């Protein structure tokens, strides 16, 4: 016979399958939760469900099902007893301070460069109507005088963004959101879609910086959704990549009093109206059949089913930011999101809030120094004839390595080895940005300055007197050949020259002829580095590559990580592309067939158009690579380092090719463990290449036969470019 407890348990289980009494209206559910100071994440954790599910219950999109329904009804009943609905005319009960969410926090996102903010006004509190549960705004208490100009970013329980940062719309009107949530979208035109998104979808993301702005919702359109909204399956104008002004969709947008940005309606279209106070009215659209997700950055993510694509983009949005264009655009926008240019400050004389600069940010567009500017820039066209080819003493040429050793310099010991092994630095440009001090102001021209490695800028200095072992590339030129005279260099390159002079006792002195210096400086890219580094490591961990692996375990995990979750592989590719593209955008060149050299182009008006910062990052990445090459050679040669020149013994481990962040070494075995130096304790030699997942550490790029590499070198091809798959 069953016991009494077993009978009660069976009855309770049966009761859970019976729908509870009618639940309060969705508006009342939200009011009760907010009155208690609870987040959606806390409620979801208590009920054993997802935060998105609680959001859909409060939005009226779905109803809870057993067994959560009975528990949810009990929670609402208890809250209703503590926080009864205010009678008509009564002031609303102030909400309690939100408690710490029970689940892991979701970092809020932001969008674009903020405008000056006024102190936030208290939002109206919604109460349930006596008939039908319709939300009616109730006046909030008068604000206290002189509130703080900005508050901390909204937490994960922010009801405005209850359904996540984005949705993928399919042809049947299903909008796939974060966490598997599916909303029914009734819109049949683009203006209807934009209006519905802003009114009912509850999509978007919070700011990353307290002085930034919340991120606009993103709607991704599949091919079927684009057809449903009247969009063509491809863009006829392949140059402008936008719909013509007389297209019916563009006319619909104009008739509905919505606007498009200057880029028009292309793969990434922004449809907006002027903001109402602090409330933005803007929706970002991404059209998949028009190539919104570039395969070079996202792989085959654009071909994923809508629900899976929503998951992939949501992971990227949570770890980086909500996409609003190419990954290059995302990389640049992330810089501004983490360090917005302005903030609200109180004017002591008037007591009003005005716009002020954010310390450590780029606050205004500045023209570059002449050697820093690309050939098309007006600064250059004013100094040189149109077809003049600038020499090293006229232009700053800080680019990544592309160097191949002369085959005549291969030693007998190297020729006896059977393999070449390539190792690749993880996100080399990102690692170079870590703690890098860059200029925040415009350039100041100085004659015969004294070099100071703490001052960012561009220096005209002769480094041709520094002798480098010919089996190594010169760290002062992208092609790796020794400079022939004075040339322009960024601060990290000149600082490394001074380091080599001190380390090897070189009979050379760093004496700049002139310089363009930036006296206001700081580690502008530090928050950018930290966010992208965490995003990269978190995604690698999801693919099974973690920081606690031994070298051999790391190599084994890397060998199969791309065979894992294809969605996460796409996220990883997008993160790496965000790094490179963001640095490249700092010196965006003019675009369009109508442009003429010497004219200004739109990118020049951005505070983040800074070719000097791009040069500093690439310079730091190149000298970081060279420093490890030198320390690897020192750790592997038998004798002491000579004095007076950077030359190594014949037994030193030296590369045969370097390309950007990849270096190729001759090796007796096929594994990086056969070539990289380790000490007696099994640890990498100090300062050399180290296998691992963090930015700046290295992974195995590929292995090929030595004769394969020699043939390429003789034909002036770089083996580092092809060592991964062997195809040339």
Domain check: are 173 and 300 in the same one? yes
The torsion of the CA quartet 240, 245, 249, 250, rounded to 10 degrees, works out to: 100
Q: How many CA atoms are closer than 13 Å to the CA of 624, on its beta-carbon side?
A: 27
299/563 Cα distance (integer angstroms): 14
pLDDT, residue 287, reads 98
Which tops the pLDDT comparison, 62 or 569? 569
Residue 711 lies in a domain: no
Calculate mean pLDDT across residues 611-630.
98
Residues 6+ apart with CB under 8 A from 194: 258, 271, 283
* 534 pLDDT more than 50: yes
Calculate mean pLDDT across residues 121-150.
33
Domain check: are 79 and 165 in the same one? no
* 7 pLDDT more than 70: no
The DSSP-derived string for 566-628 is: HHHHHHHHHHHHHHHHHHHHTTPPP-STT--TTS--GGGGSTT--HHHHHHHHHHHHHHHHHH
Q: How does residue 483 score in pLDDT terms, banded at 50, 70 and 90?
A: very high
Domain check: are 168 and 276 in the same one? yes
Q: Percentage of the chain surpassing pLDDT 90?
A: 70
Residue 182 lies in a domain: yes
Of 285, 308, 324, the one marking the end of a domain is 324
Strands of 457-462's sheet in order across: 444-447, 514-517, 457-462, 486-490
* 543 pLDDT more than 90: yes
517/455 Cα distance (integer angstroms): 7
324/304 Cα distance (integer angstroms): 19
Domain check: are 394 and 296 in the same one? no
Domain check: are 27 and 91 in the same one? yes
Domain check: are 179 and 319 in the same one? yes
Calculate mean pLDDT across residues 347-364.
90
235/247 Cα distance (integer angstroms): 11
Domain check: are 98 and 181 in the same one? no
* 52 pLDDT more than 90: no
pLDDT, residue 14, reads 53
113/213 Cα distance (integer angstroms): 8
Domain check: are 314 and 211 in the same one? yes
Calculate mean pLDDT across residues 607-632.
98
560/570 Cα distance (integer angstroms): 15
Of 522, 543, 568, the one marking the end of a domain is 522
- Range of weakest confidence among 77-86, 248-257, 402-411: 77-86
Calculate mean pLDDT across residues 712-719.
96
pLDDT, residue 139, reads 34
Write the pLDDT tens digit of every residue in 208-243. 999 999 999 999 999 999 999 999 999 998 888 999
Q: Percentage of the chain surpassing pLDDT 70?
A: 87
Q: Which two tokens stand for residue 582?
A: 């963001």
pLDDT, residue 21, reads 54
Write the pLDDT tens digit of every residue in 91-127. 443 333 333 333 333 333 433 333 333 333 333 333 3
Give the mean pLDDT of the chain: 87
Domain count, the chain: 3
* 506 pLDDT more than 60: yes
- Range of weakest confidence among 1-5, 626-630, 716-720: 1-5
Calculate mean pLDDT across residues 549-567.
95
pLDDT, residue 685, reads 92
Calculate mean pLDDT across residues 673-693.
92
Residue 420 lies in a domain: no
Residue 614 lies in a domain: no
Of 324, 346, 367, the one marking the end of a domain is 324
- Range of weakest confidence among 234-238, 460-464, 465-469: 234-238
pLDDT, residue 173, reads 96
Going by DSSP bridges, is the β-strand pair 657-659/662-667 parallel, antiparallel, or unpaired? antiparallel
Residue 567 lies in a domain: no
Domain check: are 197 and 298 in the same one? yes
Query: Three-class SS of residue 660?
Result: coil
Residue 620 lies in a domain: no
CATH number at residue 58: 1.10.260
Q: Which domain holds residue 484?
A: 390-399+442-522
Residue 35 lies in a domain: yes
Domain check: are 257 and 394 in the same one? no
pLDDT, residue 125, reads 33
Domain check: are 170 and 317 in the same one? yes
**694 neighbors 547 (Cβ within 8 angstroms):** yes
Domain check: are 230 and 100 in the same one? no
Q: Which two tokens stand for residue 87?
A: 């009678």
Residue 170 lies in a domain: yes
In 323-333, which positions are buried (b, 16+ CB within 10 angstroms) versus exposed (e)? bbbbbbbbbbb
């Amino acid at each position: 016979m069953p016991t009494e407890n077993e009978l009660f348990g069976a009855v309770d289980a049966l009761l859970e399958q019976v729908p509870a009494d009618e639940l309060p209206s969705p508006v009342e559910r939200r009011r009760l939760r907010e009155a208690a100071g609870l987040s959606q994440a806390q409620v979801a954790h208590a009920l054993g469900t997802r935060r998105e599910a609680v959001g859909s219950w409060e939005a009226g999109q779905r109803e809870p099902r057993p067994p959560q329904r009975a528990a949810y009804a009990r929670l609402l009943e208890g809250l209703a007893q503590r926080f009864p609905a205010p009678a008509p005319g009564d002031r609303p009960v102030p909400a309690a301070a939100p408690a710490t969410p029970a689940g892991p926090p979701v970092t809020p996102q932001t969008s674009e460069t903020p405008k000056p903010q006024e102190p936030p006004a208290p939002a109206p509190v919604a109460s349930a109507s006596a008939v039908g549960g319709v939300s009616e705004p109730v006046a909030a208490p008068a604000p206290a005088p002189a509130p703080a100009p900005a508050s901390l970013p909204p937490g994960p329980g922010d009801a405005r963004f209850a359904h996540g940062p984005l949705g993928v719309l399919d042809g049947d009107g299903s909008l796939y959101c974060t966490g598997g949530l599916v909303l029914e979208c009734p819109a049949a035109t683009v203006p209807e879609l934009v209006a519905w998104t802003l009114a009912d979808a509850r999509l978007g993301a919070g700011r990353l910086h307290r002085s930034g702005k919340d991120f606009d919702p993103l709607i991704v359109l599949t091919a079927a959704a684009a057809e449903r909204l009247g969009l063509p399956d491809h863009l006829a104008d392949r140059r402008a990549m936008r719909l013509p002004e007389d297209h019916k969709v563009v006319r619909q947008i104009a008739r509905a009093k919505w606007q498009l940005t200057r880029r028009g309606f292309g793969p990434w279209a922004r449809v907006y109206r002027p903001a109402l106070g602090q409330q933005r009215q803007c929706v970002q659209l991404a059209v998949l059949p028009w190539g919104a997700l570039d395969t070079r950055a996202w792989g085959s993510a654009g071909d994923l089913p809508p629900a899976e694509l929503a998951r992939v983009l949501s992971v990227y949005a949570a770890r980086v930011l909500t996409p609003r264009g190419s990954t290059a655009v995302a990389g640049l926008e992330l810089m501004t999101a983490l360090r917005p240019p302005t903030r609200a400050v109180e004017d002591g004389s008037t007591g009003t809030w005005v716009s002020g600069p954010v310390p450590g940010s780029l606050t205004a567009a500045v023209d570059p120094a002449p050697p820093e500017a690309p050939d098309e820039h007006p600064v250059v066209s004013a100094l040189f004839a149109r077809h003049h080819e600038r020499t090293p003493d006229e232009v700053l040429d800080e680019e990544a390595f592309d160097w191949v050793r002369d085959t005549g310099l291969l030693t007998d010991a190297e020729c006896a080895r059977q393999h070449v092994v390539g190792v690749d630095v993880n996100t080399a440009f990102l690692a170079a940005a870590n703690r890098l001090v860059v200029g925040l102001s415009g350039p100041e021209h100085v004659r015969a300055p004294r070099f100071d490695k703490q001052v960012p800028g561009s220096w005209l200095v002769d480094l041709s007197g520094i002798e480098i072992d010919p089996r190594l590339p010169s760290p002062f030129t992208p092609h790796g050949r020794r400079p022939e005279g004075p040339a322009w260099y960024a601060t990290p390159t000149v600082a490394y020259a001074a380091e080599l002079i001190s380390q090897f006792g070189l009979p050379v002195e760093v004496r700049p002829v002139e310089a363009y210096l930036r006296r206001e400086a700081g580690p502008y890219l530090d928050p950018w580095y930290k966010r992208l580094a965490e995003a990269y490591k978190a995604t690698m961990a999801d693919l099974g590559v973690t920081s606690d692996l031994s070298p051999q375990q790391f190599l084994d995990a890397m060998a199969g990580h791309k065979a894992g979750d294809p969605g996460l592989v796409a996220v990883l590719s997008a993160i790496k592309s965000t790094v490179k593209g963001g640095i490249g955008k700092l010196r965006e060149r003019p675009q369009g067939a109508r442009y003429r050299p010497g004219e200004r182009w739109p990118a020049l008006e951005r505070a983040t158009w800074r070719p000097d910062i791009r040069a500093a990052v690439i310079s730091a990445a190149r000298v970081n690579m060279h420093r490890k090459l030198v320390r690897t050679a020192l750790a592997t040669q038998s004798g002491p380092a000579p004095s007076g020149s950077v030359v190594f013994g014949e037994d030193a481990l030296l590369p045969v090719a370097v390309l950007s962040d990849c270096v190729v070494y001759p090796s007796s075995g096929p594994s990086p463990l056969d070539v990289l130096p380790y000490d007696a304790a099994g640890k990498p030699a100090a300062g050399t290449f180290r296998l691992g997942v963090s930015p700046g550490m290295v992974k195995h790029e590929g292995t090929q036969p030595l004769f394969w590499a020699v043939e390429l070198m003789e034909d002036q091809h770089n083996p580092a470019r092809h060592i991964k798959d062997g195809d040339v």
